[in-house]
Chain A
Amino acid sequence: MSMEDYDYLFKIVLIGNAGVGKTCLVRRFTQGLFPPGQGATIGVDFMIKTVEIKGEKVKLQIWDTAGQERFRSITQSYYRSANALILTYDITCEDSFRCLPEWLREIEQYANNQVVTILVGNKIDLAEKREVLRQRAEDFAEAQSMLYLETSAKESDNVEKLFLDLACELIREAKQNKLDNNDTAPMPGEGKTISYLSCCSLN
């Protein structure tokens, strides 16, 4: 493993109905690509992008559902040790919005208490087909104390902002709970602790 050069490492997990554009958001952010090529993302576990925020290097490990959301069969272990969750729906699809409470129940069950959750309404490039009003989503997000953002993976609207905002929020929280929750270490293989790691390389 090469020498790691980052100040923070965060695990960000995407959830939401199939077809709302989760993979597109990740691909747009990590690779600048749209559409992200045909078919699913075979063999790719997570994507990585390192960004710099106020002089600090932040490595973002972004995990996608691997298609398990299609039949509502996401493994609980997918949520474990996530620092942030991006709960995505499609603004042109009422159904994807109506499923949000179900997703929130899963989050409550399996995710860490301190997880930062952001609600994302994707596909704002299809404004003429909008089914979920912005105000409704904002109210919902506020009631659940989530951040809210509308994006277009296609036009690259707010995508960068989404991940950078999250990174800022995570850094802020990390500085607050520094030295918290740092004792669990993955063992077999050379896995790395995905929690608030401060400074220096691991190995």
Chain B
Amino acid sequence: MAAEDLPSEFDVVILGTGLTESVAAAAFSRVGQRVLHVDRRSYYAGNWASFTFSGLLTWIQQHHEEPLPEEAQDWSSLLEEGEELIHLSHSDCASIRNLQVFCFTSEEDEEEEAPNTTEEETGGAAEDSECADSTEEETKETGEEEEEVREEEEVREEEQTTPSAALRQSEPTKKKISYAQLLKEGRRFNIDLVSKLMYSRGSLVDLLIKSNVSRYAEFKNVTRILTYRDRQVEQVPCSRADVFASRQLSVVEKRKLMRFLTSCVEETEEQRAYNGRPYLEFLRDRQLGDNLQHFLLHSIAMVTEDTPTEEGLASTRHFLRCLGRYGNTPFLFPVYGLGEIPQCFCRMCAVFGGIYCLRHSVDGVVVDRDSNRCKAVIDSRGQRITCSHFVVEEGYVAADRKRVATPTRFLSRAVLITDGSILPSDSDQQVSMVTVPPIAAGCPAVKMVELCSSTMTCMPGTYLVHLTCQSVGSAYEDLSPVVTRMFRTPESHDQETCPSVLWCLYFNMTDGSGLEAEGHNLPSNVYVCSGPDGDLGHELAIRQAESIFQKILPEEDFCPPAPNPEDIIYDGDNTSSSAGGEEEKEENDGVAEEEKQEEEKEMLEEEKEMLEEEKEMLEEEKEMLEEEKEVLEEQNLQTEE
């Protein structure tokens, strides 16, 4: 397509298409600001992106390559007197490191070669060496790219690939999905760089609903919460229905759990007495027993043993508030992966006139020396674009200009393609959130999400497993012990019943929560957005986008509902409908009024819902009491006998 020139004046220029930037873009465009939204990359969502399998391989390749030396272009001819230029970074390779790839399945489809018996042996051997080669190669690449990787480690990794070949030779008949098949079906994968879930009453879901952006995506319920304990995967009963139906819990435990959960909802004096003391202590003193204590601490509050009580209780409450809105767990997951979400907000921005340009960057920010404000930006083609505000993803900002926590915090990530669910059940289409408490002292707690093929993130017959933790060491060091314990890999022992890992990727990503909100060495009308953080939810990104919006337009509504096309457009002969231009603005005002009312209505309904839920809970408790009574009576009878 011909390189059309961009308009030369905007209200807001936004660089980077991660979640925060995209939400901000939608918000500005929605209230009539002229928005230019660009990204240096050829894909949307930056470090929030999802990739097909081949897309991910390309991404890996790109991060192995040496970044081209950055040559600061001389744009001085574009500057006027009293202006200076702040150069922006061209590459964000710094945010991703320690990439390591392992392939534990055969290169080619074994079945295809089966008919020819004479060639099978040699063919099979060649396959094995080929696969091992490719793994070694990838490992070597990692070594080259990341100088910090010590040699001994490299040696260890190479050793690891050898057992993989040995293992496959010992059971060559097993029909595993081959690497070739993964490539062939590659477009069925949508592999997220970030692993998060959407709390059903979290700020992202609220925003999607409020803004009507939700119409661009579809969602699935996370169907179960699992936890790893005593070398076993267990399901955590969390909804009232689950608790009630649970076979793991005794009647007494059920009652204790329901009691506890009910008592959590409101803050009490008793709870306050534990402020500042560990939540674990609070739980212990409730005498809930090991089972419940584990569930409550690791799977419901999802905190660590030393998290203070008030924080633990807040997390527990948030979890409980989110239960039952859409399903039996508090979480949703977007069909086609999390990378869809930023794109949905970009679409909203575009619908309201925002201009989009991928493979296009901003080279520098033109600053007026006197006012220390950004007047314009110079794009990568050397066009000067006037703007009133500039929003930028942190990756583009030079290290000496931004304030970040030191030392730099990282997240450890692993992505596995496996051949079975970690906890097989009647349905092979479960979406599971798995909490893995630290497997040894000093190890990080790991959050794991297992996605099935109906989420459209992996090919049928496989599962996509995401592991995330705060990094202590490299991603491989942090997460491979968990992977080895919970899955079958060439390094694991006695894991016959566990799902096999076909392919996996480890990497570290900068933790977005390390970026300070204020204090950057930048003009006052330049706003920095952080990359993804390690939390399970999306609160940080949404809060940040809203705060940037409010700094610039304190009077305006943040992402008001977009009119429903069905309300503006009429069918058939009635062509008097208006869309675009002045008329629509008027219409929007009317719509806004209506929406306010609708919102109120919604709130009332929610309240009603809550009351009903409470009623339900009471009834259930009654039922449970009755059950217990029966049990007790039975016992009485028995003792009488």
Chain A residues in the interface with B (C-beta under 8 A): 17-18, 30-33, 37-50, 66-68, 70-73, 75-78, 80-81, 95, 99, 108-109, 183-189, 191, 193
Contact = CB atoms under 8 A, between A and B. Distances in A.
A66 B360 contact: no
A72 B41 CA distance: 12
Contacts of A187: 214, 218-221, 326, 332
Given A71-B356, A75-B346, A189-B208, A42 B219 contact: no
B449 to A, nearest CB: 17
Contacts of A193: 218
Interface residues of B, number: 55
A42 B34 CA distance: 12
Contacts of B216: 77
Contacts of A30: 569, 571
Interface in B595-617: none
7 shortest interchain CB distances as A-B pairs: A66-B350, A75-B343, A189-B214, A187-B219, A73-B356, A71-B357, A188-B214
Contacts of B212: 189
Given A43-B588, A77-B343, A71 B358 contact: yes
B336 A80 contact: yes
B218 A44 contact: no
A48 B214 contact: no
B571 A188 contact: no
A77 B44 CA distance: 10
Interface in B556-610: 562-563, 565-566, 568-569, 571-572, 575, 577, 579-581, 584, 588
Interface in B314-362: 326, 332, 335-336, 339-340, 343-344, 346-347, 350-353, 355-360
B52 interface: yes
A71 B580 CA distance: 22
Given A80-B336, A184-B454, A189 B215 contact: yes
Interface of B: 1-2, 4, 44, 52, 187, 205, 208-209, 212, 214-221, 326, 332, 335-336, 339-340, 343-344, 346-347, 350-353, 355-360, 454, 456, 562-563, 565-566, 568-569, 571-572, 575, 577, 579-581, 584, 588
B220 A41 contact: no
27 contacts: A17-B1, A32-B575, A38-B580, A41-B580, A42-B581, A43-B580, A44-B565, A44-B579, A44-B580, A50-B572, A66-B347, A71-B4, A71-B357, A73-B358, A77-B217, A78-B347, A80-B218, A80-B335, A108-B187, A184-B220, A185-B219, A186-B214, A186-B218, A187-B219, A188-B332, A189-B214, A191-B214
B249 to A, nearest CB: 29
Contact of A45 (B339, B340, B565): B565
Contacts of A43: 351-352, 562-563, 568, 579-580, 584, 588
Contacts, number: 152
Contact of A75 (B44, B357, B454, B584): B44
B1 A71 contact: yes
Given A44-B351, A75-B343, A76-B340, 18 more contacts: A40-B580, A43-B588, A44-B569, A66-B351, A68-B350, A68-B356, A73-B44, A77-B216, A80-B335, A80-B340, A109-B52, A183-B454, A184-B218, A187-B218, A187-B219, A188-B214, A188-B332, A191-B215
Nearest to A185: B218
A77 B581 contact: no
B353 A42 contact: yes
A37 B218 contact: no
A188 B565 contact: no
A186 B219 contact: yes
B555 to A, nearest CB: 20
A77 B334 CA distance: 11
Contacts of B52: 109
A45 B219 contact: no
A99 B350 contact: no
A76 B343 contact: yes
A75 B347 contact: yes
A193 B577 CA distance: 26
Contacts of A45: 215, 351, 562, 565
B196 to A, nearest CB: 15
Contacts of A99: 1
Nearest to B198: A188
Nearest to B358: A73
Contacts of B335: 80, 184
Given A32-B575, A50-B571, A183-B454, A188 B208 contact: yes
Contacts of A72: 1, 358-359
A38 to B, nearest CB: 7
A111 to B, nearest CB: 10
B220 A42 contact: no
B215 A38 contact: no
A95 B2 contact: yes
Nearest to A49: B571
Interface centre among B216, B340, B454 (most CB of A within 10 A): B216
